Amino acid sequence: MEEFFTKKLNVFIISIICTLLWGSAFPVVKISYEKLQIAPEDIYSKIYFAGLRFFIASMLVFLVAKLILRMDIRIKKKDIKPIVTLGMLQTSLQYFFFYIGVANTSGIKSAILQGSGTFFTVLAAHFVYSDDRINMRKILSLALGFGGILAINMGKGFDSSFTFMGEGFLLLSALVSTIATIYVKSISQDIDPVILTGSQMFAGSILLLIVGKVGMHGGGLNFNSTTIGLLVYAAFISSCAFLLWYTLLKYNKAGEISIYRLFIPVFGSMLSVAFIEGETFTIKLFIGLLMVVAGMTVLNAGNGHKNM
């Protein structure tokens, strides 16, 4: 397992799969909101939808673990506290801050501030791990990646305004994501990534469901066959991407592989063009993609992973 998940080519492919899955969540969730007729300002319905998404995702992970991998999915008593802690961080708090922040700021700021989580993780890893220091290769890779995100979102209403419930919450979401990433790195050495993925999403989803349900107006969301399908796919995205990502974190440097997350808004923009009416492919999107790819090329030019 360690040999497979530390080879440079494998790390690259798996990271791209993860970011592609997370990027596909942008159009899937947006279409789901439209089909469910969730108003942009209805934050609690979105939080409730996220709770359902992660609850189903956790069930998918447990089903695969039990029926296909034939694993013992019982959680050890000593693992309950770290799993619940991770669930509160990675699922509950991160997405709570994210949904409220996105609802109160512009698209370009959301993309940039979401990407700031990558910078926070690289910086945190520098101080936490002696073998994961910041170097010029990482700095250049980050600069190219952020430049790509800026290029994609250029001209979409960027300004210097700042509100705590908007930009502030997005920064908190990025910071919580960083803390969760570092925490995963420490506990994944003792807890199987499959169990860790399913159980943390289950724990985190419960709080989202409670908060969303309490704050929602009316009886709940009106699902049909289309929206149920979208919800299940969104759950699949979460279960598959987090499972692969946690396994990568177990065997690789957190600050290094986190830079791949800069692909998420790029894939999100590209897939939105493909599936959302009114979205178009532009030269800015093409330039942005090239810059992020260049950043990842610089990252892999060093000796951060084992050879192919």
pTM: 0.84
User: Helix 169-187 to helix 107-128 angle, to the nearest 10 degrees?
Assistant: 40
pLDDT for 30 equals: 83
Q: Are 112 and 255 in contact (CB under 8 A)?
A: no
Digitized pLDDT (tens) for each residue of the chain, 308 residues in all: 788 999 988 999 999 999 999 988 888 888 898 899 888 788 899 999 999 999 999 999 999 999 988 898 889 999 999 999 999 999 999 988 888 887 777 655 666 677 777 888 888 888 888 888 888 888 888 888 878 877 776 665 555 567 888 888 888 988 998 999 999 988 988 899 999 999 999 999 999 999 999 988 766 788 899 999 999 999 999 999 999 999 999 999 888 888 888 888 888 888 888 887 776 777 877 887 888 888 878 877 755 445 44
**Which position has the token pair 């090329």?**
297
Backbone angles phi, psi at 42, to 5 degrees: -85, 75
> Which string of DSSP letters, residue by residue, matches 120-142?
HHHHHHHHH-TT----HHHHHHH
pLDDT for 308 equals: 46
pLDDT for 139 equals: 87
d(CA 111, CA 130): 30
Query: On the CB side of 135, how many CA atoms lie within 13 Å of its CA?
Result: 13
Between the alpha carbon of residue 106 and those of residues 13, 109, 110, 263, the distances in Å are 31, 5, 6, 20
pLDDT for 133 equals: 85
CA 98 to chain centre: 11
pLDDT for 209 equals: 94
Return the number of other C-beta atoms located less than 10 Å from residue 65's C-beta.
19
By three-state DSSP, how is residue 266 classified? helix
Burial class (CB in 10 A: 0-12, 13-18, 19+), 306: middle
Residue 7: strand pairing partners: 306
